[in-house]
A and B are shown apart, each in its own frame.
Chain A
Amino acid sequence: MKIVKILGLVLVAAFVVIQFVPTSLNQSDVISTEDFMSTYKVPQQIETILKTSCYDCHSNNTKYPWYNKIQPIAWVIEDHVKVGKEELNLSEFGSYSKRRQKSKLKSIGSQIEDGEMPLSSYALIHRDAKISEDEKRLMVEWINKIIDSL
């Protein structure tokens, strides 16, 4: 019993200690000229969907929830954003080659169509990020139009 108690205390101490490990926030003051919104003429509705459902992980600006102050949750979020940006960074979309833009648009369309993005774990917590069937159709149609114009 004593061992369990000690072990517990060690773990609690570790939990406290990791709270002091700093995390870098994915937030930038620079208004990117390469942003998706300046690369294409984006209708208001589409812009709203992208901003609420995609930009947290796929841009240089994340709107953080309060629990990002707690470790190790903050690390998990940090990792998600890092991977998300590697895959697709909407803040730098205009710097992609035309070929890559086309590929990315295609993937965006198919991920949304298949309901794979936004991630269900993310949409579960961010209720407003969930994309409705109507919004889905709107997005996919618009994206296909852009692809055809490239």
Chain B
Amino acid sequence: MKNLKMSLAAMLLVGSLAYAQHDHKKMKTSHKMGEKKMMVNQGHDMKTEAILNDYFNLKNALVNDDGKKAAQAGSKLAISLKAFDMKAYTAEQQKELIDIIEDATEHAEHIAKSDIGHQREHFKTLSVDMTDLVAITGTKHTLFEQFCSMYDKGSAWLSRSNEVRNPYYGSKMLKCGKVQKEIN
């Protein structure tokens, strides 16, 4: 009985120590991210392209059914999104951009810590955000909006190529979908 009590107390203590440590760690990482933000300081076009790059890496990972790579791309995308600079835009555009960036960042962060099924769910809404972002910022490259009518009552995504490679189904239905629109 005594032993039981003691081990119980030990568990509680270890648990509470681990908890305190956990909080401490969180603070450290947020500090690091702040530094990174300062370093990236180029034109706003570059920042849009960086966001799109990460988005396409994410898309390609999903096409390849690679949840691990998709997660990595997701966390990179979250960082690029936070670094987005909207000074060059009108007040009205900025209002819209703030909403887009905020929403997209949340999706990217979730993609960074989810299994592939959830990653694809978030990728759908993220793709809407990206399409709306590009509509305001424009981009140097030609993009293709593609559409798959099967996934979740119909879902779109962006691609740099006009060949369809489906990020929602990957190898299961790689070529399912069609080009819906050419952007730029």
Q: Which residues of A contact B (CB under 8 A)?
A: 4, 7-8, 11-12, 14-15, 18, 71-72, 75-76, 79, 97-100, 102-103, 106-107, 110
Contact = CB atoms under 8 A, between A and B. Distances in A.
A75 B16 contact: yes
A97 B103 contact: yes
A83 to B, nearest CB: 11
Interface string B1-40: 0100110011011011001000000000000000000000
A97 B94 CA distance: 13
Interface string B94-106: 0000111011001
A7 B14 CA distance: 13
Given A8-B2, A71-B12, 8 more contacts: A8-B5, A8-B9, A14-B9, A72-B12, A72-B15, A72-B19, A103-B103, A103-B125
Most chain B Cβ neighbours within 10 Å, of A79, A97, A98, A99: A99
Contacts of A15: 9, 12-13
A98 B98 CA distance: 12
B13 A103 contact: no
B39 to A, nearest CB: 26
Interface residues of B, number: 20
Please classify the interface of chain A as helix (H, G, I), strand (E, B), loop, or mixed, using the class held by over half of its residues: helix
B108 to A, nearest CB: 12
Interface of B: 2, 5-6, 9-10, 12-13, 15-16, 19, 98-100, 102-103, 106-107, 121, 125, 129
A97 B99 contact: yes
Contacts of A7: 6
Contact of B106 (A11, A76, A79, A100): A100
A106 B125 contact: yes
19 contacts: A4-B6, A8-B5, A8-B6, A11-B6, A12-B6, A12-B9, A14-B9, A14-B13, A15-B13, A18-B12, A18-B13, A18-B16, A72-B12, A76-B15, A76-B19, A97-B103, A99-B129, A103-B103, A107-B121
A110 B121 contact: yes
Specify which of A18, A79, A102, A103 lies most central, judged by the most chain B CB atoms within 10 Å of its CB. Answer: A103
B148 to A, nearest CB: 17
Contacts of A8: 2, 5-6, 9
Nearest to B100: A99
B99 A99 contact: yes
Given A97-B99, A97-B103, A72 B9 contact: no
A98 B100 CA distance: 10
A140 B69 CA distance: 31
